[in-house]
Chain A
C-alpha cells in the first residue's frame, strides 16, 4: 500500500493547544510519526532574565495554567537554596497541600479530557463538575482558582484558618465518594475498555529508554516518583503509595491517575491534620549571591526540572525549565506507530500534554523592536503572504 504523509495540527479540533504531528499513513494505520514543537512559544526564559526574583514568581506561574504551583515551587526552591533561607515548616506543609490539591484538579481535568476524547462525554461533564469542588478549595485558601500565587520567596503568602481547614475536608470527602464511583465506572464500562485497552502501548523498557516521566511511566510499570525517590517539601513525613500499573496502554494511564487521586486525598487529610504551628514566611533579601541550583518536582504530569543561575544581582542570569511534557513526547512518537489514525487524539491526550509548558525558545524581531497590536485584517494579510511564499494562494478565498 502506498504511504501518505498527513499533518495533524497545529490547528486541529482534537488538540487543545497548537502542536504539529506529521503522520505517515498506510491506509488507516500509522507507520511513522514526527513531532514538531514551537507553536506556543512565548519566550519566558528570556523574559525571566530581566525581571527580579519576586517578579519572576508570577511569570513562572504562567508557564502553565494547570501546574502553576509546581513550576513556582520548583523555581522558589532554587531561589531559597541560593539565598540559604530557612523556610518554616508550616509554609512547607501549606506548599505540599497546594501541590496535592493541584494534582487532584489536574487529574480530574485529565479524566474529563480522556472521557471527551474517547467519546464518553457524560464522564467529561461529571468529572469537570466535581472538579469545581477542588477549584473552590483552592480559591477559598489562596484567592484564585488557577493562578493561586500562594508561594512567596521565604514561605507562603496566606495562612490556613480552622474554618478553612474544615471546609476543605468537607469538600475532599465529597470528592472521595465521587472518585470511588468514577473508578468503578471507568474500569467496568465496556465503552471505556473498548476504547482504551491496547491503545498507545508503551512497554516497560521503551518507557525507560525514552525517559518517560510521571503517570505515563508509572502506567508502564516504572515506579518512578520524585516524591518518593527524592522527597522534597514534607513528603518524607507523609505516608503514601506510588501507584503503578502494568497494562502499558491508555487504560493503565487512566487507572494510575484515578488511583493517584485517592492517594492525594489521603495526603491532603494527613497534611491538614498535622499542620505544624509557627510563622508562614521568613524575610529573604532582594539580591541573591552568585551560584547555581537545580531542583526537581513531581508535577501532576511528571518530573519538572528547573535550573537557576544567579549572578549576585536581584535578577537571575539564566533560568531553564524542563517541563514533563517534553520528556513524554518522545514516547508519544513510539505510541503512535503501528496504531490507528482514529486513536491519535486519545494517545496524545493520554500523556496529558501541556504545550504551553513545553515551548520556550526565544525569537525577537530586531527590525520592529516595538509592541504591535495586529487587527484581524492585518493577521489575514500576514497569513496570505506567508502561504504565498510557500506556493499556496489563499488570496482569492
Chain B
C-alpha cells in the first residue's frame, strides 16, 4: 500500500528526542570492559621467551634485553650461586599494532597486559614507539 510521506511522523517525533551522538571529546567515551586498547608490559614477569614476537601479526613487538641488568642475589651459605634473573624491555610500536591482543593471550607468564587506552594518536612518529622498561 502506498502511503506518501509516511516517515514524516517519525521525523517529527525525533525532534523532541535526545541526540543519538555523544559529545566526545568533551564527554568521556563509554567503553565496554572487553575493549582492546594499548598493550602494557610488566617487566619483572617477562622471561624473554619471545612467543609474543612470534605470534604478533603486525610485527609490532620487540623484547630486547634491558641495558641495566639486576645484580645476582647474594648466594645463601652452602648453596651454589643462583644465576640472576634476566630483565627484559618491551618496545611496542603503536603505529604497527593492530590491537588484536593475541600477544596477551599467548604470553605464558601474563607479562603483557591489555589496557583500555585508546587515545593514542600523535603527530610525532617517535612517540608511537613506546619503550617499556
Contact = CB atoms under 8 A, between A and B. Distances in A.
B104 to A, nearest CB: 10
Given A51-B57, A126-B10, A188 B3 contact: yes
B32 interface: yes
A193 B98 CA distance: 43
Interface in A130-144: 132, 136, 139-144
Interface string A59-97: 100100000000000000000000000000000000000
Contacts of A126: 10
Contacts of A282: none
A122 B72 CA distance: 70
B1 A132 contact: no
A311 interface: no
Contacts of A193: 2
Interface in B1-47: 1-4, 6-7, 10-11, 20, 32, 34-36
A58 B57 contact: yes
Given A57-B57, A132-B20, A185-B7, A144 B36 contact: yes
Interface residues of A, number: 33
B130 interface: no
A52 interface: yes
A147 interface: yes
B35 A58 contact: no
A59 B100 CA distance: 11
A123 B32 CA distance: 28
A182 to B, nearest CB: 10
B86 to A, nearest CB: 25
Give the residue among A54, A181, A193 with the most B Cβ atoms within 10 A: A54
Contacts of A189: 2-4, 6-7
B105 A190 contact: no
A54 B6 contact: no
Contacts of B100: 58, 147, 149
B84 interface: no
Interface in A172-200: 181, 184-185, 188-190, 193
A122 B101 CA distance: 38
A380 interface: no
B6 to A, nearest CB: 6
Contact of B55 (A54, A139, A149): A54
A55 interface: yes
B102 A54 contact: yes
Given A140-B34, A190-B4, A122 B57 contact: no
Interface in B59-100: 98-100
Nearest to B1: A188
B109 interface: no
Contacts of B54: 52
Given A185-B10, A188-B3, 18 more contacts: A52-B55, A56-B57, A58-B98, A58-B102, A122-B11, A132-B20, A139-B35, A140-B32, A140-B34, A143-B32, A144-B35, A149-B36, A184-B6, A185-B7, A188-B6, A189-B2, A189-B3, A189-B4
| List of 10 A-B pairs having minimum Cβ-Cβ separation, nearest first | A143-B34, A58-B57, A55-B57, A143-B36, A129-B20, A190-B2, A140-B32, A149-B100, A58-B100, A188-B3
